[in-house]
A and B are shown apart, each in its own frame.
Chain A
Amino acid sequence: MTDKTVSLPEERRHGSFIKNNLRNYGMLMSLIAIMLFFQVMTSGTLLQPLNLTNLVLQNSYIVIMALGMLLVIVTGHIDLSVGSVAGFVGAVAALLMVTYKVDYTLAFLICLAVGAAIGAAQGYWVAYFKIPSFIVTLAGMLVFKGLALAVLQGQSLGPFPPTFQKLSSGFIPELLPEAGTLHPTSMLIGAVLALGLVYASAKSRAREVSHGIEVEPYAFFLGKSVVLAFAVLYFTYLIATYRGLPNVLVIMSVLIALYGFVTRRTVIGRQIYAVGGNAKAAGLSGIKTERLTFFTFVNMGVLAALAGLVFAARLNTATPKAGLGFELDVIAACFIGGASAYGGVGRVGGAVVGAMIMGVMNNGMSILGIGIDYQQVIKGLVLLGAVCIDVYNQRR
């Protein structure tokens, strides 16, 4: 049987390869289409360096939370409390740094610990008491929204110390002499990243070939690598001509790479998918399903806290309204990115692309002057449409 697949005529192999991978790349294609659409409609404003930088800053906290939410959804659960938790942690951060003048590093760590504790408290009920996560986190949503109000006493609290603000509004320092508007350090990092990505995928392909594993056709591999390298270079070039790479983009990229690796390549990642795919079978295979579920909630709490800090630093103030409705964007990002509501299915890349689709649409529609009313209508329809397409593709 293996022989048969290898000796398929080249065209048929290409055809089946495209078919098999359409699903994986479908959402990426949609993102590109949406970006092109808004690029044309806004007569080029979308991809202007300033706007692109803003786009990154505006969506960083959604992307960060989507990484945690993806794991929660993959285990077959949901976390409705992330927006409230982010808001509450922002309030705690303001209380510590503004009111009590705590050192920002220490405050930062305390805030992450608070997030972990909140995640643990919610995860405990879900994992060990088997209370539906929808209910536990709905309760958490109310509790932490209320606590944020209580901590802030209904007022806004700020401003934050300037170093802390850099978390969100800072850019990586320029080490090389500037060339006009271009920031060479950022450009260099982008170039190294592009080369690194191409090198890594070439190496892994060569390794697979040497073990006689069927790989994607060479033309596809080449095309994919060129497009990827070009996209990374072009993106960094645009960003580098404004103020260079934002700090938060660096944090985000590192987290995306880390979670991508954990979900695809590690034992714990594989086990999380197994729990979501069939918890009973996973348990009978020796996987500690409760503990894994618990840790996905702890992880979600930490990332929600980080997102809360990023958001507070961006606004430079903690407000009782911070985090309102974030959970909806985050959950939508995961589902648009192909995660299954039944658990066991979903990719980090998908969730990131999903978050970017939501972000580009928000940004593009705002530039076009579409009111907040119809923006919501359109976003809702896009979510429904994306999931419908996904379900349809799965049935085929």
Chain B
Amino acid sequence: MTAMLEMRNVSKSFAGVQALRDVNFSVEAGQIHALVGENGAGKSTLMKVLSGVYPAGSYEGTIIFEGQERRFRDINDSEALGIIIIHQELALIPLMSIAENIFLSHPPSKFGVIDRDQVYRRTRELLAQVGLKESPDTLITDLGVGKQQLVEIAKALSKRVRMLILDEPTASLNEADSAALLERLMKFREQGIGSILISHKLNEVARVADHITVLRDGRTVDGIDCRAEPIQEDRIIRSMVNRDLAHRFPERSAKIGEPVLEVSNWSVYHPIHPDRQVIKNVNFGVKRGEVVGIAGLMGAGRTEFAMSLFGRSWGTNISGRIALEGHEIVLPTVAAAIDAGLAYVTEDRKQLGLILADDVRKNITLASLDQVAPGRVIDDIAELKVASDYRNRMRIRCSDVYQETGQLSGGNQQKVVLSKWLMTDPKVLILDEPTRGIDVGAKYEIYCIINELAEAGRGVVVISSEMPELLGICDRICVMNDGAFVGEFPGAEATQENIMRAIMRNERSNGNGAARAAEMGGSQP
């Protein structure tokens, strides 16, 4: 079979930094080609070269697509040939309908007037192709992230698609939505569409990919033909990081002590729909030195539960009791929660965790300025020392603590957020999706930090949609579904199967649980 796309000896550098060196990359028609590598390995750069974001002439090497050498001047050139890229950040307009979004740039029209019948008919066809049953009139903002991703793909299909590029399409999806999306990808394979899948999730890659290319430091370091040989995750990881990760999770011997946080009969209602109970009278606890995982589908209410505990920063009509180290406390504000010794590391570090335009130092000290400001006046030298200290301890890779956090990679940004919360010296840390969008090497470092925190006698709660991660680092896993805990497993007994089983059992008994879960996913803050 001849290759549909061939990129030969592609090199690209930015201001002296070599981002790509002699990369060779080819995709066949009807092939799902996975592109993996750590953040900064050059995956996105390569895709930008391919799609014309970096125009011909700004890189070296040749691109051959469908038998001809191509020199794209911009993204329109590549789209005209059917090379469609779907970015990690969705580019949909929230307050417009599905149909309006799909036909945003070239709506079918007669004499400049949009032909609505045709728009609706074609939208329905496209939605059917991606397996969405929503009405074309539904506003994007009313859809969950998973469905938005599918709309984005439907939008791509409205153009002539020969090759689909998906950049981390499942990063913000739960297991069920991810599975549905990958299912779609395999359908496209049957239609002869070539796909390039960029993903950090190796289990997904293993499931669907026909070929895997591993990039490291801008070079192709490994190519695996999945149809010819079995996929070994360890081999991929080894190629990606060039170090033998015999264990993807650090060893730990748990020393679990007294209960530190106990929550009982906790109930929370939705802030916009006050009659909807989102958290249903749950009980929850963490002990000193313990790492507790909360598993669940997106929309199960995990983030809402955590944020409602953290100074009532989500929800209304909150009731229930919180005891910290045996003493009952009331936490009406975030400031009170921080003072009491609670810390919440958000799942959305760019929107809710960091001030991206501010430097590393200001972000680290933001939640505990009083420590470096005797008499409310900031001692800038004390502040600098604290910030530099965290930078060294957490191994934050930045030019200095005056660097803007917006310029750092995802893993380093996450370390800045963690530093901010460590500085408040919390008794209990709630980490919401702490490794989302972070590469394998940085993930390992985050796991080590979680271990250290537990060893120092803090209680750690980890909310994660990646089950292997929970299985790898938690002493105990609680399963949440539809606002209630539906299962609990000691770390040694937990498996992906029995966690999923607990969720599915509950879904069936609720009947409409899945629909409600999806609905709630869309209306998260």
Contacts and interface: CB of A to CB of B under 8 A. Distances in A.
B355 A267 contact: no
Given A213-B384, A266-B373, A285-B420, A274 B400 contact: no
A1 B401 CA distance: 11
A285 B400 contact: no
A285 B380 contact: no
B370 interface: yes
A344 interface: yes
B354 interface: yes
Contacts, number: 84
B399 A1 contact: yes
B369 A271 contact: yes
Chain A interface, DSSP helix/strand/loop, else mixed: helix
Given A207-B381, A266-B377, A271-B369, A281 B334 contact: no
Interface string A207-243: 1100101100000000000000000000000000000
A286 B367 contact: yes
Interface string A267-295: 11011011001101111111110000000
Given A2-B400, A283-B313, A284-B313, A270 B353 contact: no
A345 interface: yes
A281 B369 contact: no
B335 interface: yes
B200 interface: no
Interface string B337-358: 1100000101000011111111
A232 B337 CA distance: 49
Kindly state the interface size class of chain B when it binds its partner.
20 to 34
B353 A281 contact: yes
B358 A273 contact: yes
A87 to B, nearest CB: 35
Contacts of B373: 266-267
B176 interface: no
Contacts of B367: 285-286
A330 B346 CA distance: 38
A277 B362 CA distance: 11
B365 to A, nearest CB: 8
B420 A345 contact: no
A200 to B, nearest CB: 14
B456 interface: no
Contact of A283 (B334, B378, B380): B334
Interface in B134-166: none
A21 interface: no
B335 A280 contact: no
B203 to A, nearest CB: 31
Contacts of B355: 274, 277-278, 281-282, 344
A187 B223 CA distance: 78
Contacts of A270: 362, 366, 369, 378
Nearest to B334: A286
B351 A266 contact: no
Given A5-B400, A283-B313, A288-B335, A344 B357 contact: yes
Interface in B355-400: 355-358, 362, 366-367, 369-370, 373, 376-378, 380-381, 384-385, 399-400
A270 B369 CA distance: 9
Contacts of A287: 335, 366
A211 B383 CA distance: 12
Contacts of A207: 381
Contacts of A277: 355-358
B358 A211 contact: no
A2 B381 CA distance: 16
A287 B337 CA distance: 12
A2 B369 CA distance: 25
A251 to B, nearest CB: 23
Interface residues of A, number: 29
A265 interface: yes
Interface string B400-413: 10000000000000
B341 to A, nearest CB: 12
Nearest to B384: A213
B378 A267 contact: yes
Nearest to A269: B378
Interface string A186-209: 000000000000000000000110
Contact of A345 (B335, B338, B351, B357): B357
A344 B358 CA distance: 9
Contacts of A284: 310, 313, 334, 344, 346, 352-353
B343 to A, nearest CB: 10
Contact of B352 (A213, A274, A281, A345): A281
Contacts of A5: 399-400
B357 A280 contact: no
B370 A267 contact: yes
A71 to B, nearest CB: 16
Interface in A121-173: none
Interface in A269-328: 270-271, 273-274, 277-278, 280-288
A286 B378 contact: no
B376 A268 contact: yes
Nearest to A279: B355
- Name the residue among A270, A286, A287 with the largest chain B CB count within 10 angstroms: A286
A265 B376 CA distance: 9
Contact of A265 (B354, B377, B384): B377
A274 B399 CA distance: 22
Nearest to B525: A280
Contact of B356 (A2, A265, A278): A278
Given A265-B378, A265-B380, A274 B420 contact: no
Interface string B183-201: 0000000000000000000
Interface string A338-351: 00000011000000
Contacts of B399: 1, 5
A381 B370 CA distance: 44
Contacts of A2: 400
Contacts of B384: 211, 213
B335 to A, nearest CB: 4
Contacts of A211: 381, 384-385
Contacts of B362: 270, 273-274
A214 B369 CA distance: 23
Contact of B366 (A266, A274, A345): A274
Contacts of A282: 355, 366
Contacts of A1: 399-400
B71 to A, nearest CB: 27
A153 B352 CA distance: 51
A106 B384 CA distance: 46
Given A277-B358, A278-B356, A281-B355, 17 more contacts: A5-B400, A213-B384, A266-B377, A266-B378, A270-B366, A270-B378, A277-B355, A278-B354, A280-B352, A281-B353, A282-B366, A284-B310, A285-B338, A286-B334, A286-B335, A287-B366, A344-B357
11 contacts: A211-B384, A213-B381, A214-B400, A273-B358, A274-B355, A274-B362, A274-B366, A277-B357, A283-B313, A285-B367, A344-B357
Closest 4 CB pairs of A and B: A277-B355, A285-B367, A286-B335, A286-B338
